[in-house]
Structure 1
Amino acid sequence: MTAQNAEPLIRLTWTDPVTGTHGYLVVHSLVSGVATGGTRMRAGCTMSEVEDLARGMANKTATFNLPVGGAKGGIDFDPKDPRAFGVLERFCGFLRPWIDAHWVTAEDLGVPQHLIDDVFAKLGLQQSYHAAISRSADPERTLRRVQAGLNAPVPGGLLLGDVVGGYGVAQACIGVAAAWSWDPAAATVAIQGIGTMGGGAAWYLHEAGMRVVAVADAAGTLYHPQGLDVPALLDARDAYGEIDRGKVPADVQVLPRDAVLSIPADIFVPAAISYAITAANAADIAGKVVIEAANSATTEVAEAALTARGIPVIPDFVANAGAAAWAWWLLLGEVGADPADSFLRLRTEMQSKVALLLAGWTTDRTTPRVTGHHLAATNRVTPTLTEAPVPLLIP
């Protein structure tokens, strides 16, 4: 049974004894006894949402042929609440048996990597990849490699671990341009969300010479048909990924938040929240292709409507899988602390997968999601919980 239609192995619900909020862990599949997937925190997070995300992680790991299954954690709580760190700490403490041995987690919506690493440090586990690191032949050496990779500086003053996911999304966009023989300098992009993923994608698209004409944050949409000054806008962000409107140039149009959907750009990148494109707004999408930087960005009904209009959707389990794939290449010692090596590996794999997905679309209108699911199923049939774990070959 393939990841897209299999039932999860485990669903766990936690109730915080202090705030009464609920948290969820869904383990969709185990490979070698391990599953990977981030932990998100947002008000309104549900078990159903976490289950969808865990399924997506299983598809990501299979699509990129990684030796690990898929899981996801989620907490129904406002990450801006001053009690959020305590909630996250208690959630991870409750799930300690899974965190110790089976669940490799990382940042996600509302939970930056430094925050979850702080929680793991308080639990005495050093780093959120603990379940994989502890299985390696030399855990201390593997930990040093992981820390060096995550903290490797890249141009722009950021760290590799913070930008590699956005770099992968940018490469998905560039892969579309290459597959369709577009001139990158003439291609335009609109991005919904300017946090870690959307901001990283915007930076690397700008670096590649593609025009980012619109970005949207919680306060609204910023639009300039000739292209935005992406580095300046990213410098104007606050801790929550929102742009200080007082630093926006006068020639940039300030529009309502949902205006980003209908901006006349070649590529639309939803990089903010899950289920951003729905049956109610799918008709507003003006792009020629949608690149899902956010997990589960498009509902099934909305994607069917886009497909009927001739707009393919590059699914999240390919487009935004860069951070997850890179983390496992780093764990396995296939890349190290040199960002150039990591960028080359991710660029090559992402562009080749996007080309494969679009080949099916161009030939007979097979959707990229269907092609991606076929690729995942071909790479690996999801093991069951009863299968004996195979040791991970982490050096």
Structure 2
Amino acid sequence: MSEDLLSRIDRWGPEKVVCVSDRRTGMRGVLVLDNTARGMGKGGTRMSPTLTVAEVSRLARTMTWKWAAVDLFHGGAKAGIRFDPGSPDKEAALRAFARALRNEVPAEYVFGLDMGLVEDDAAIILDELGRGTAVGLPRALGGLPYDELGITGFGVAEATDAAASAQGLSLGSARVAIQGYGAVGWAAARRLAELGATVVAVSNAEGCLHDPDGIDVGRLAALREQYGDGCLREHGGAVLDAEAILRLDADILLPCAREDLVDEDAARATTVRLVVEGANLPTTPAAKEVLHARGIPLVPDFIANAGGIVAAAHSMDARLSPFTVDPADVLAMVTAKLRENAVAVLHASAQHGVTPHVAAQQMAEERVAEAMRLRGQVAVDRVSVDVG
């Protein structure tokens, strides 16, 4: 593991990696501070029984670009706990992880929420380490509950609408397939329906619900509250294998599940006209190249799903304040920033003949590099792509 981690260090980071463990609970965890040139490390904490240091390192780098692309002043970081979030000992493992990082929190890192953790878990961090150490708290504790409000999915839908418009595709006549019906996918479906799109397919771990005439998004959301992943079968209709969603007839695909699920084969087979990444790192590098070669635009993850960090930025400002954050202010900023970035990146991609991911990364790199220069850190050589 050490050799693998050392090989990942480049001109951008990571600056610091902290691995911790607890014999009593069996918790093993890691914090990766990738690049803090633009501000202190901020990123979500995930819990998974298969979590790896490499996974967290990749996600921390994504956070570096995400903060820079949305032009808010925090640095890239991510934390993870290798533990089953369904275990009855989840709370004990989470408390052990928080205690082990007491020296880093909140001076260098503030806990947020990612896969496997919910608002009540943020409250546990608060109880363990004190006020100011976590965001995403329940509303009763003065927090802005991202998942309850569906802020990340809302932003993905806004980016989708803007990108579709820029490509001459009306969302009102578009058929959308959503891979992953978790915290991001359900909220994206809700907002897309409000914007006039027809959601024709939704997938999760249980399969893929497909209705070419359109899924009743409101009913499916209510069933998710009651049955979890079983909501697809409770809804009724055709339930296919989960992988089928990548082959169905649709205009827009939103990968909102796990990393690397849209591979080269899927990119060659898909008939969609636009891909918008709702999850972090859902499309492999080879698949991005295939999509680009086929003329299918892709809005990168750190552009499309940055709604969560806009909410996190508001929460960071308010975490030591007695005043709560107004969700309307957050949603307004999400709409403005994500729509503008989605269009700018697709424009730069077309103008310079590079993939949208390259265009987006160059925009983020310019901002991080300038912060590094001003702080007297290592100069960064790069090829500039104007996305203004």
TM-score with structure 1 setting the length: 0.84
**In 2, distance between residues paired with 1:285 and 1:11?**
38
**How do 1:164-313 and structure 2 match up within 5 A?**
164-238=151-225, 241-245=228-232, 247-249=234-236, 252-313=237-298
Q: Is the 8 A contact 2:27 2:82 kept in 1?
A: yes
Change (3 A) 1:59 1:127: same
Say which of 346, 349, 354 aligns to 2:334: 346
Q: Which moved more, 1:198-207 or 1:80-89?
A: 80-89
Q: Match of 1:60? A: 66
> Which one scores higher on RCO, CA 8 angstroms, separation ≥ 6?
1
Given residue 42 of structure 1, which amino acid in structure 2 is its aligned partner? S
Q: Match of 2:93? A: 87
Change (3 A) 1:331 1:75: closer
**1:319, distance to aligned residue in structure 2 (A):** 0.7
Q: Say which SS state the counterpart of residue 254 (structure 1) adopts.
A: strand
Mapped pair 1:10 → 2:16: yes
Q: Is the 8 A contact 1:29 1:35 kept in 2?
A: yes
**1:206, distance to aligned residue in structure 2 (A):** 0.9
Mapped pair 1:113 → 2:101: no
Mapped pair 1:372 → 2:360: yes
> Alpha-carbon deviations, 1:11-56, whole Å to 9, x = none?
2222231243421111001146511000011121111111110000
Q: Is the 8 A contact 2:200 2:213 kept in 1?
A: yes
Q: Say which SS state the counterpart of residue 287 (structure 1) adopts.
A: coil
Q: How many residues align?
A: 365
Q: Which moved more, 1:227-236 or 1:27-36?
A: 27-36
**In 2, distance between residues paired with 1:27 and 1:307?**
32
**1:162, distance to aligned residue in structure 2 (A):** 3.5
Structure 1 vs Structure 2 CA RMSD = 3.0
Task: Quote the sequence identity (%).
Answer: 34
> Alpha-carbon deviations, 1:88-127, whole Å to 9, x = none?
2111110111113110221101111321222322333365
**In 2, distance between residues paired with 1:44 and 1:160?**
23
Q: Say which SS state the counterpart of residue 369 (structure 2) adopts.
A: coil
Change (3 A) 1:69 1:146: farther
**1:75, distance to aligned residue in structure 2 (A):** 1.6
Q: Is the 8 A contact 2:144 2:315 kept in 1?
A: no
Mapped pair 1:162 → 2:156: no
Q: Match of 1:150? A: 144
Q: Match of 2:383? A: none
Given residue 80 of structure 1, which amino acid in structure 2 is its aligned partner? G
Q: Is the 8 A contact 1:283 1:306 kept in 2?
A: yes
Q: Match of 1:78? A: 84
Structure 1 alignment gaps of length 5 or more: 131-142, 152-158, 389-395
Q: Say which SS state the counterpart of residue 60 (structure 1) adopts.
A: helix
**In 2, distance between residues paired with 1:320 and 1:302?**
19
TM-score with structure 2 setting the length: 0.85
Q: Is the 8 A contact 1:30 1:383 kept in 2?
A: no
Q: Is the 8 A contact 2:51 2:80 kept in 1?
A: yes
Q: Say which SS state the counterpart of residue 150 (structure 1) adopts.
A: coil
Given residue 98 of structure 1, which amino acid in structure 2 is its aligned partner? E
**1:217, distance to aligned residue in structure 2 (A):** 1.0
**1:147, distance to aligned residue in structure 2 (A):** 5.8
Change (3 A) 1:351 1:51: same
> Alpha-carbon deviations, 1:158-181, whole Å to 9, x = none?
x78631111111111111122122
> Alpha-carbon deviations, 1:261-295, whole Å to 9, x = none?
11211111111111212235433333222211111
**In 1, distance between residues paired with 2:259 and 2:83?**
16
**1:325, distance to aligned residue in structure 2 (A):** 1.8
Q: Match of 2:54? A: 48
Q: Say which SS state the counterpart of residue 242 (structure 1) adopts.
A: helix
